[in-house]
Amino acid sequence: MSDDTPERGEVIRSTVITLVFTVVFLILGLTFWAWSSPDIIETSPIGILSEMNLYVTVLLESLTMVGIFIFLSVTVITLKHFISGVRAGWFEVILVFITVAAMAWLMFGSAVGGTTAIFSLGFVVYLYWLQQ
């Protein structure tokens, strides 16, 4: 990683972009969650996908939650660096990881929660490799 500090405008632009993507993935996840309710699942797109192949819905919901994790992590890291001038530590990344994995588990169940945790750990490993 570079020791150069980006300009204020670049940091704000990056934060806004990642925050927008976080919100978009969150809205998509909440939509999938609403479509998965027992009252409307027979007529919803999630119900139709589940009838064709259950694993497709698990993959879509997991990838949505991983998208939330990735963009929320980048937002937190950028904001911490912008506000305090200190790069974010592993505490912030692990806190976001636990939060998103718990959200996935509570919203969609253990299959999506576990898959989200595994995919998100892959991104955490990527962040670790970036530090080397």
Q: What is the DSSP string of 44-81?
A: SHHHHHHHH-HHHHHHHHHHHHHHHHHHHHHHHHHHHH
State how far the Cα of 121 lies from the Cα of 96, in Å rounded to an integer: 11
Q: How far apart (Å, rounded) are the C-alpha atoms in residues 102 and 72?
A: 14
pLDDT of residue 3: 57
φ, ψ for residue 2 (rounded to 5)?
-80, 150
Each residue's pLDDT expressed in tens, for the chain with a length of 132 residues: 455 666 888 888 989 999 999 999 999 999 999 988 878 878 888 888 888 888 999 999 999 999 999 999 999 988 888 888 877 788 899 999 999 999 999 999 999 999 999 999 999 999 889 877
**Is position 3 within any domain?**
no
Structural domain contains residue 2: no
Residue 75 lies in a domain: yes
Inside any domain, residue 1: no
pTM (predicted TM-score): 0.87
Residue in the block written with tokens 């497709």:
56
The reply to whether 122 falls in a domain is yes
- Between CA 116 and CA 66 the distance in angstroms is 6
Residue 21 sits in which domain range?
A: 8-131
Residue 85 lies in a domain: yes
In a domain? residue 57: yes
Q: How many domains does the chain have?
A: 1
